[in-house]
């Protein structure tokens, strides 16, 4: 009898040069470059170039690539109309539908599956994903979407389109690191789903839509959202111990811990831990990090020896919350995904490469 394994564990589908993961020691490489070096010394634009072309760009190559990204950020007015109809929807639903609708405006290349055309389409989607999310964010608050600012970086422009103010360097850098950390992660569920669609010789837009739909789930990209919901339920650090005990005893799980791949700490988590703490102090809301720290250092500490360690989603949720990135008009929080682009822009480069 065949052995049926859960999820994608021990399922081999292909080889890849885009990333390498050693889950036993908590190691992640993008195209041979350590994630720690990229997070601290690179930019999201450089990392997208690296994933697409296989090496970090020269100064001239980066300038040309960055210019192409900036020139591709605008979305057609028809997409804005679609988002207006969907303004009550979850941001990931709006992102998924927006990308699908973009295929209708890319008629010249939508069916062209050559490597060159696929890279061009991937660059456009990477640039347009944040514009979709930001436009949807503003529409559901009764505000007009803002045109992209060509003078800002990928992360800085996203923040500007979301909130209508020029972001400071520190906040831009924080989101840039977050984008880098979510840019690639091998054959995870959304990348696998996107590749299944691509393997039928469908088009890139369809493959990315498949990936976004998969990414939305709370067992994947939606986990950061669930972590923050849990933190909001706890409310204050002094409630964390009782909440966690009751939750675990009733058969629940503490979100943001454990990973299908890692048996050591997710190497991406360290880059968000200190940043989440600093952002909370800057915003005058240190309690969210204090709740997370209590869960990590006390409640879940005994589980570390069993390979159940903190993952990247654990601190990402608090960062999005503190940046006022929302999933609903009334709740100041969003996991974005993709993607987007918190996660939305992050998944854009990931799915394009995959």
Q: Report how far Cα 23 is from the mean position of its chain's Cα atoms.
A: 20
- Catalytic residue (one of 176, 203, 266, 313): 313
Whether the per-residue pLDDT at 255 is higher than 90: the answer is no
Q: CA of 76: how far to CAs of 40, 119, 252, in Å?
A: 35, 20, 44
**Nearest 5°: phi and psi at 257?**
-120, 145
CATH code: domain 1-217+336-354 is 1.10.580.10
For residues 179-191, give the mean pLDDT: 90
pLDDT of residue 122: 97
Task: Identify the band that residue 278 occupies on the pLDDT scale cut at 50, 70 and 90.
Answer: very high
Q: Tell me if the pTM is above 0.85.
A: yes
Mean pLDDT over the full length of the chain: 87
- What is the distance in angstroms between the CA of the first residue and the CA of the last residue of the chain? 32
The 3-state DSSP class for residue 192 equals: helix
Q: Report how far Cα 333 is from the mean position of its chain's Cα atoms.
A: 14
Q: Helix (H) and strand (E) counts for the chain?
A: 16, 3
Rounded CA-CA distance 350/348 in Å is 5
Catalytic status, residue 313: yes
Q: CA of 224: how far to CAs of 7, 62, 108, 251, 310, in Å?
A: 19, 31, 37, 20, 12
Whether the per-residue pLDDT at 134 is higher than 70: the answer is yes
Query: Pairing state of beta strands 19-22 and 27-30?
Result: antiparallel
pLDDT of residue 179: 96
> Above pLDDT 90, what percent of the chain?
66
- Catalytic residue (one of 136, 259, 271, 294): 259
pLDDT of residue 129: 97
Superfamily of domain 223-334: Cytochrome P450-Terp, domain 2 (1.10.230.10)
Catalytic status, residue 259: yes
Q: Give exposure, 266-284, as e/b (b: 16+ Cβ within 10 Å).
A: bbbbbbbbebbbebbeeee
The predicted-structure confidence for 53-97, as pLDDT tens digits, reads as follows 999 999 999 999 999 999 999 999 999 999 999 999 999 999 999
Domain coordinates of the chain in residue numbers? Answer: 1-217+336-354, 223-334
């Amino acid at each position: 009898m065949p052995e049926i394994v859960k999820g994608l564990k021990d399922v081999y589908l292909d080889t890849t040069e885009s990333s390498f993961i050693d889950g036993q020691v908590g190691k992640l490489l993008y195209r041979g470059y350590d994630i720690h070096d990229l997070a601290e010394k690179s930019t999201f634009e450089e990392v997208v170039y690296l994933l697409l072309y296989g090496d970090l760009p020269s100064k001239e190559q980066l300038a040309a690539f960055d210019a192409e990204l900036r020139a591709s950020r605008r979305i057609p007015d028809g997409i804005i109309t679609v988002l207006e109809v969907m303004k009550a929807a979850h941001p990931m639903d709006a992102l998924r539908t927006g990308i699908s609708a973009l295929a209708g405006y890319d008629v010249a290349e939508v069916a062209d599956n050559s490597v060159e055309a696929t890279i061009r389409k991937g660059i456009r989607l990477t640039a347009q994903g944040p514009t979709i999310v930001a436009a949807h964010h503003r529409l559901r608050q009764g505000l007009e979407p803002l045109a992209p600012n060509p003078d800002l970086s990928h992360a800085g422009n996203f923040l500007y389109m979301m909130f209508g103010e020029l972001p400071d360097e520190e906040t831009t850098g924080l989101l840039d690191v977050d984008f880098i950390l979510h840019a690639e992660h091998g054959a995870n569920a959304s990348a696998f789903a996107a590749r299944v669609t691509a393997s039928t010789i469908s088009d890139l837009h369809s493959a990315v839509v498949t990936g976004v739909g998969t990414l939305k789930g709370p067992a994947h990209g939606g986990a950061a959202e669930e972590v923050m919901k849990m933190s909001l339920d706890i409310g204050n650090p002094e409630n964390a111990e009782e909440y966690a005990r009751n939750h675990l005893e009733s058969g629940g799980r503490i979100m943001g811990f454990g990973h299908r791949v890692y048996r050591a700490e997710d190497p991406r988590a360290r880059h968000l831990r200190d940043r989440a703490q600093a952002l909370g102090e800057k915003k005058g809301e240190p309690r969210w990090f204090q709740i997370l720290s209590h869960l990590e250092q006390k409640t879940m500490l005994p589980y570390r020896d069993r390979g159940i360690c903190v993952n990247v989603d654990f601190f990402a949720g608090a960062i999005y919350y503190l940046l006022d990135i929302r999933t609903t008009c009334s709740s100041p929080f969003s996991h974005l995904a993709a993607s987007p682009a918190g996660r939305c822009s992050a998944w854009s480069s990931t799915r394009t490469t995959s």
